[in-house]
Structure 1
Amino acid sequence: MYTRRVYKILDMAKWTRFSTFLFLLIIVVPIVLHQFFDLQWLKIPWTPLALIGTAVAFVIGFQNNAAYGRIWEARKIWGGVVNTSRTFAMFVQDMVTNEYCEDEVSDEEIQEEIKTLTYRHIAWMTALRHAMREPRKWETLHREKSNREWHKDMPPPEKITSLKDDLICYMDQEDMDYVLSKGNKQTAILYRQSHHLRRLKERGLIWEFSFLQLEGVLEELFTLQGKSERIKNFPYPRHFATLNHYFMWVFLLLLPLAIVPQFSEIGQDMMENHPFVGTHFVWLSIPFYLAVAWVFHTMERIGRTGENPFEGSANDVPISTISRGIEIDLRQNLGETKEEIPDQFPMVYDTQM
Structure 2
Amino acid sequence: MHVGKSYKLSDFLIWTRRKLYILILLGTLPVVLYHVLGIKWLVVPWTVVSLLGTATAFIVGFKNTQTYNRTWHGHEIWGNIDSSSRAWGIMCRDYLQDATKIQLLLQRHFAWLAVLRYHLREERVWEVADNRPNAEYQKYYTIPERQTTLEEELSKYLSAEEQVYISGVRNKASQLLALQNKTVKDIYDEQTLIPLQFQEMQRSLNTLYSLQGQCEAIKETPYPRQYSIIHTLFVRIFCVLLPFGMLQEFDKLDNLVTGMMKGHMIWLVIPFSVLISWMYTSLEQVGESTENPFEGSPNDVPISQICRNIEIDLREMMGEKELPPPIKAQNDILV
Work out whether the TM-score is over 0.5. yes
Say whether 1:146 aligns with 2:130. Answer: no
The 1:146/1:165 distance shift into structure 2, 3 A limit, reads same
Contact 2:140–2:331 (CA under 8 A) maintained in structure 1: no
The 1:174/1:74 distance shift into structure 2, 3 A limit, reads same
Contact 2:67–2:287 (CA under 8 A) maintained in structure 1: yes
Contact 2:84–2:204 (CA under 8 A) maintained in structure 1: yes
Contact 2:129–2:297 (CA under 8 A) maintained in structure 1: yes
Q: Note the C-alpha offset of 1:286.
A: 1.9
Say whether 1:34 aligns with 2:34. Answer: yes
Deviations for 1:184-221, whole angstroms, at most 9, x for unmatched residues? 11111101111111222222332333122101100000
Q: Scaled by the length of structure 1, what TM-score is found?
A: 0.90
What is the percent sequence identity of the aligned residues? 35
Contact 2:115–2:173 (CA under 8 A) maintained in structure 1: yes
Contact 1:30–1:257 (CA under 8 A) maintained in structure 2: yes
Q: Which runs of structure 2 are paired with 1:1-353 in the superposition (5 Å)?
A: 8-97=8-97, 110-143=98-131, 145-267=132-254, 269-270=255-256, 273-274=258-259, 276-337=260-321, 340-353=322-335
In structure 2, C-alpha distance between the alignment counterparts of 1:316 and 1:261, rounded to whole Å: 44
Q: Note the C-alpha offset of 1:157.
A: 0.9
Q: Note the C-alpha offset of 1:61.
A: 0.6
In structure 1, C-alpha distance between the alignment counterparts of 2:194 and 2:239, rounded to whole Å: 67
Q: Note the C-alpha offset of 1:6.
A: 8.1
Contact 1:232–1:310 (CA under 8 A) maintained in structure 2: yes
Which letter does structure 1 place at the counterpart of 2:217?
Answer: R
In structure 1, C-alpha distance between the alignment counterparts of 2:128 and 2:232, rounded to whole Å: 13
The 1:204/1:5 distance shift into structure 2, 3 A limit, reads closer
Higher RCO, Cα 8 Å, sep 6+:
2
In structure 2, C-alpha distance between the alignment counterparts of 1:333 and 1:223, rounded to whole Å: 25
Contact 1:89–1:118 (CA under 8 A) maintained in structure 2: yes
Which letter does structure 2 place at the counterpart of 1:66?
Answer: Q
Deviations for 1:226-248, whole angstroms, at most 9, x for unmatched residues? 11111111111100011101110
Deviations for 1:2-60, whole angstroms, at most 9, x for unmatched residues? xx768622221111111112111111111121222111221100111111111100011
Which letter does structure 1 place at the counterpart of 2:145?
Answer: E
The 1:196/1:150 distance shift into structure 2, 3 A limit, reads same
Contact 1:78–1:319 (CA under 8 A) maintained in structure 2: yes
Contact 1:270–1:277 (CA under 8 A) maintained in structure 2: no
Q: Secondary structure at the match of 1:56?
A: helix
Q: Which moved more, 1:128-137 or 1:155-164?
A: 155-164
In structure 2, C-alpha distance between the alignment counterparts of 1:310 and 1:124, rounded to whole Å: 16
Which letter does structure 1 place at the counterpart of 2:56?
Answer: V
Contact 2:243–2:270 (CA under 8 A) maintained in structure 1: no
Q: Which moved more, 1:221-230 or 1:191-200?
A: 191-200
Unaligned runs of 5+ in 2: none
The 1:23/1:5 distance shift into structure 2, 3 A limit, reads farther
Q: Note the C-alpha offset of 1:135.
A: 0.9
Q: Note the C-alpha offset of 1:160.
A: 1.4
Q: Secondary structure at the match of 2:8?
A: helix
Deviations for 1:85-127, whole angstroms, at most 9, x for unmatched residues? 0000000101102xxxxxxxxxxxx222211111111111111
Q: Secondary structure at the match of 1:41?
A: helix
Which letter does structure 2 place at the counterpart of 1:237?
Answer: P
Contact 1:31–1:282 (CA under 8 A) maintained in structure 2: yes
Which letter does structure 1 place at the counterpart of 2:236?
Answer: W
In structure 1, C-alpha distance between the alignment counterparts of 2:159 and 2:60, rounded to whole Å: 50
Unaligned runs of 5+ in 1: 98-109
Contact 1:16–1:146 (CA under 8 A) maintained in structure 2: yes
Contact 1:175–1:192 (CA under 8 A) maintained in structure 2: no
Contact 2:251–2:265 (CA under 8 A) maintained in structure 1: yes
In structure 1, C-alpha distance between the alignment counterparts of 2:64 and 2:302, rounded to whole Å: 20
Q: Which moved more, 1:217-226 or 1:277-286?
A: 277-286
Give the paired residue count: 332
In structure 2, C-alpha distance between the alignment counterparts of 1:281 and 1:254, rounded to whole Å: 19
In structure 2, C-alpha distance between the alignment counterparts of 1:5 and 1:73, rounded to whole Å: 22
